[in-house]
Structure 1
Amino acid sequence: MANAGLQLLGYTLAFLGLLGLIASTAMAEWKMSSYAGDNIITAQAMYEGLWRACVYQSTGQMQCKVYDSLLQLP
């Protein structure tokens, strides 16, 4: 009985780890930087991930560039 409980706990933790791995790989927020400048209206937040790079502006606009190939990564 104790072994079955430990196995179930191990499977659950492994599954949660797999979900975390998939979520973190898909996110674009691996590298973050921001630029406010002289005017808060032109503030930008830049995010780079494994698959795309995104720029969020303080006006609510968002632009993303998807990397076409692994060879084109910065």
Structure 2
Amino acid sequence: MALAKHLTSFEQVDDPARWFEDSHYTKPVSEGEIVIFRNETGYALVQIIKVRTKSNAANAELHFRYQLRHYRGQEA
């Protein structure tokens, strides 16, 4: 997982791979920010739209939008 700092639209993420680093620490994410997930087929760009917490954590809500990008050729 990587956080695309200071980016607010999927169009700004021209190369998702460049956001990854070799660290394993927790990254807080705020509304409006974009998180990038990677697996063997490509990337999922997820923008956090709204987080609504309620008194019971089981009722918390997360609103998001996403874009999938597949690897091209031998990029994996």
| Short-chain TM bin | 0.3 to 0.5
Which structure carries more relative contact order (alpha carbon 8 Å, separation 6+)? 2
TM-score (norm 2): 0.42
Structure whose alpha-carbon radius of gyration is higher: 1
TM-score (norm 1): 0.42
Indicate the structure with greater strand content: 2
